[in-house]
Chain A
Amino acid sequence: MQSFQDLTFALSSFWAERGCVLQQPYDLEVGAGTMHPDTFLRVLGPEPWRVAYVQPSRRPADARFGDNPFRLGKHYQMQVILKPSPHEIQSMYVDSLQAMGIDLAVHDLRFEEDNWEAPTLGASGVGWQVMLDGMEITQFTYFQQAGGLEMKPVSVELTYGLERLTMFLGLSRNVYDVEWLEDGLHYGEVRHQDEVESSKYYFEVADVAFLEEQFEGLEREARRCLEAGIVLPAYECALRCSHTFNVLDARGAVSVTERVALIKRVRDLAVACAEAYVTGRESLGFPLLAGDASAEPGGEESDAQG
């Protein structure tokens, strides 16, 4: 049976071979791979882009002190963005399953309607949850809107839940029993302590007053960055606001009405960042358009960032 890291390798190489920049996880706490600027910002505007990366994704409310065999406060997503969405994307996706060793001659694969929405990002898309033998293994989304802006061209996002995929392929009943590497350490040996301690923080230790202050401070900081015309630092502050909100929520410190208001404040930041990003890229002449249609997307720009 495939180990957790074999699966990650297989998917990474598969998408790297198809012209994706193999990016690294974003070095901030995020709730999903979508929030990585290489998704959220790069899908905006006319420039082509292909990227793949693993993103550790934090969902404080789902943390369970390492006791629940299915739920985690942090899980790993394999995130793939192809912009514009290729005509053959569905068959490419099917090939990616085969690259993971899934023999579709003996499995049942279905695409069931699932329209995705991320209120904190002003983002939404149309697509499916991909079901393998009745299990959701991938979120398959054509982005229609991000940061409140319409998409043209349209990006397709594939999000594979790596723990669930590995568990499911081995029909394992406990995530902590999954082999991280073949005949070696298990998921629990690598991550269990992290889950226990994070849960304790989210549910018991986190200082509500401090987090509330931090939220306000980060929001102000984001605005200052936007005024200074630096988009990425502003967006990072917005991401940290979002995570701070999630911790407050898990801590039970957010009432129903506050909830709506806080989500709106994060979304306003994300929308402002999105608009500033597009304006900035436009003033640079949308460098990745480059007029050379044959160039593999995602070349020179990522070097420049290194």
Chain B
Amino acid sequence: MPKGELLLEVRCEEIPARMLRPAIAELESSIADGLGARDLVPTKIEGTFTPRRLVLVVRGLPAREPDRRERQIGPPAAVAFDGDGNPTPAALGFAQRCGVDASALERIETEKGEYVSVEVESRGRSTVEVLSELLPSALVGLTWAKTMRWGEGVGPWVRPIHGIVALFEEEVVPFELFGVTTGNTTSGHPVLSPKSFQVKAVSDYRSKLRRRKVEMNFESRRNRLAAEMSDRAQALGAQVVEDVELLDKLASICEIPGVVQGAFDEQFLDLPREVLIASLRDHQSALTVELQGRLLPVFLTVMDRGDDPKGLVQAGNEWVVEARLADARFFYEEDRKQQLVEASRRLDTLTFHVKLGSYAEKSARIRQLAQFLCGELGWKKRAGGAEIAAGLLKADLTTEMVKEFTSLQGVVGGIYAREDGADEGVWQAVYDQYLPASTSDRIPRSEVGIVCGIADRIDTLVGIFGLGLRPTGSRDPFGLRRAAQGLVRIVLEAGLSIDLDMLAARAVLLYGDRLELSGDEVLGDLRPFLEDRVRHLLGLQGFLYDEIEAALAVGFADLPDLGARVEALHSMRDDEGFLAVVLAAKRIANILRDAPEHLFSEDLLKEEAEKALWTASRQLKAEVEQAEADGAYRDCLRSIADFADVLERFFAEVLVMDENRDLRGNRIAMLQSIQRTLSRTARLTEVVVDRALVRQGA
């Protein structure tokens, strides 16, 4: 096993926290690919980072590329040799370039005729040489969310580079990147230990950095932060309010993970919990601490140093937090001078979209869609609540609090509505309106919230699609994928049987003449977009691609029903009988391709096997219809699976394409009828079958 070890450290000015993890993952994989392409396969590639360093360690690298024999093609034989068969200058030149004598040239046949050729042995290059080519191109090739230029116009890269350590087996891998040459020196923490020093290999790199106030490993920094913060909270008999994302950020903005603990005035605990948490998180990157569900007047954040010898770091952070919370209190008190319903009256000054009008108009449409939904779902008792909630839904967009903390939209409205004495279903509807925003979110708690969440999203989707502004590639400025995803999830998880096409058509009507596309065009664009979201969502739930396609092919209008069909399909997936029927269904589809409808007559049944099939198929049809009506899709597929034997026998004993036209037509008619029965729950032909799993003879 080769032992070659590469250490790469790119030291630069502070890289934004959000870009570090994707960058190091990309670097790992592009180096792995690059080495693999050169037959240099390492045993391990490990990347990590600090805000000022990208670090890559590659272990188990061979010292050289393997030697290769490669065939080089030269000039055409007719050009390479004269009439006497002697090599021409063209042949001699080719031989010289390949480093062989002209006598070594061979003639070979190619697609384009006869050519001269020679097999050249090339010695594998040293790994250092390969790396000096591979490393700079991988580094330059990294994709960053935002790049910059500096100095005389150097770049583009994420931030200016200050030093590169590239060592393979203690030897410097020579290359240059943006004017910086590789070497074996780096430096420690820029404020606490700025002197440069030499490194030999990974082992001394890590320990020397530690002595110089840098923990190079991201995971180590995060774990230390988490442990230390949890200890601090426990010392107060409390616990940290979990925020994984923020903890990751904190570990990405320091080279040494020091915890700052600060306190704030207890009077701020009167502010809503969500507001306190958001203010500390968004402005100060600070976590909060709670005891039995109540926040303590304490915050925890990070400093890029191990200690706070004079308490100045704590004092400074407390000073800023105090000012920030005073701001939050100011916004809260300004907002609470009036009820939320009054704030909603200012929505006519807030533009939803220039061509689609104001948020006041959007609210009016949401109200009508919510009423329509209550009717469709038979939720008459929710109609009153939905009316009130729809009117309040967007009101918090005019509040000072949401202008300051956009991440709290919806939540602030919900809190204010609750304070104003709204019913639980109503304030929860406002509070939950943007849920689910991510896969880990729940759907709205109340039925009123479900209705409002659907109405808001379908209105946005129809409006923006109606302007022809559907998302393309990674561009989705209106967040339509998230809106559609949320919509589909609410409908599926709440188990609502509503036809989304019909709902969308309703939403189109409410826009009057504002849309630039016709209603049919909007629906035509929106349908595949929503189907894609359904595919994605069912995929996340563990269903396989072909199962989803098979179920989707039968119907999309009723999503919970679709979900039940996919689930049934998934559960029958490995059943031998079922798979045999799938194969038979594909065979039937092939036979019936382009066949016109035929008439069936029982009198024309001749063979025993086809009579048996007909009897069985009538029974199957009855069973399937009953199971369908009951929504018992697994039973339905079970019956279909039990149909395998009789189908198999039919195909073994009966020739469908009989010479007799009547018999042939009759058999086709029977198969057409069977095909309809088989495809009621899912289009079986979409199911991919691994033939190895299917019993012989199917």
Contact = CB atoms under 8 A, between A and B. Distances in A.
A86 B18 CA distance: 26
A168 B319 contact: yes
A113 B19 CA distance: 10
Nearest to A114: B16
Contact of A134 (B146, B260, B305, B349): B260
Contacts of B136: none
Contacts of B162: 87
B151 A84 contact: yes
A128 interface: yes
A161 to B, nearest CB: 13
Contacts of A113: 14, 16-18
Contacts of A142: 148-150
A188 interface: no
Contact of A91 (B190, B258, B301): B190
A289 interface: no
Given A90-B13, A135-B319, A256-B349, A85 B150 contact: yes
B17 A107 contact: no
A18 interface: no
Interface residues of B, number: 48
Given A134-B316, A256-B351, A84 B304 contact: no
B444 to A, nearest CB: 29
Contacts, number: 113
B17 A154 contact: no
B313 A133 contact: yes
Contacts of A133: 303, 312-313, 315-317, 320
Contacts of B148: 126, 142, 144, 154
B253 interface: yes
A263 interface: no
A85 to B, nearest CB: 5
B512 interface: no
B254 interface: yes
Residue from the set B18, B151, B162 with the largest chain A CB neighbour count within 10 Å: B151
A112 B192 CA distance: 18
A152 to B, nearest CB: 4
Contacts of B51: 111
Residue from the set A112, A115, A126 with the largest chain B CB neighbour count within 10 Å: A126
Interface in A222-271: 255-257
Contacts of A255: 349
* Range for the number of chain A residues in contact with chain B: 35 or more
A42 B151 CA distance: 15
A272 interface: no
B13 A151 contact: no
Nearest to A128: B14
B362 to A, nearest CB: 14
A85 B13 CA distance: 13
B301 A134 contact: yes
Contact of A153 (B152, B284, B316, B326): B152
A70 interface: yes
A156 B301 CA distance: 30
A104 B17 CA distance: 23
A153 B190 CA distance: 26
Contact of A257 (B191, B313, B354): B354
A132 interface: yes
B309 interface: yes
Contacts of A126: 146-148
A259 to B, nearest CB: 10
A70 B326 CA distance: 10
A103 B312 CA distance: 11
Contacts of A144: 148-149
A257 B149 contact: no
Residue from the set B150, B153, B284 with the largest chain A CB neighbour count within 10 Å: B150
B350 interface: yes
Contacts of A94: 190-191
Nearest to B179: A87
B310 interface: yes
B657 interface: no
B323 interface: yes
Nearest to A141: B148
Contacts of A110: 14, 253-254, 303-304
Contacts of A105: 192, 309
A108 interface: yes
B160 interface: yes
Interface in A119-176: 126, 128, 132-135, 142, 144, 151-154, 156, 168, 171, 173
Contact of B152 (A132, A134, A152): A152
Contacts of A135: 316-317, 319-320
Interface in B313-341: 313, 315-317, 319-323, 326-327
Nearest to B180: A87
A196 interface: no
Contacts of B13: 90, 111
Contacts of A108: 258, 260, 303-305, 308, 313, 316
Given A106-B309, A256-B350, A154 B304 contact: no
Interface in A166-218: 168, 171, 173
B321 to A, nearest CB: 8
A109 interface: yes
B195 to A, nearest CB: 12
Nearest to B322: A173
A126 B15 CA distance: 11
Contacts of B147: 126
Nearest to A111: B14
A154 B149 CA distance: 7
Interface of A: 70, 84-87, 90-91, 94, 104-113, 115, 126, 128, 132-135, 142, 144, 151-154, 156, 168, 171, 173, 255-257
Interface of B: 13-14, 16-18, 51, 146-153, 160, 162, 190-192, 194, 253-254, 258, 260, 284, 301, 303-305, 308-310, 312-313, 315-317, 319-323, 326-327, 349-351, 354
30 contacts: A87-B160, A87-B162, A105-B309, A106-B312, A107-B313, A108-B258, A108-B304, A108-B305, A108-B308, A108-B316, A110-B303, A112-B17, A113-B16, A132-B316, A133-B303, A133-B315, A133-B317, A134-B260, A134-B316, A134-B320, A135-B316, A135-B319, A144-B149, A151-B149, A152-B149, A152-B152, A154-B152, A168-B316, A168-B319, A171-B315
Given A87-B162, A108-B258, A173-B322, 4 more contacts: A113-B17, A126-B147, A134-B321, A171-B315
Closest A-B pairs by Cβ, 3 of them: A133-B316, A113-B16, A134-B317
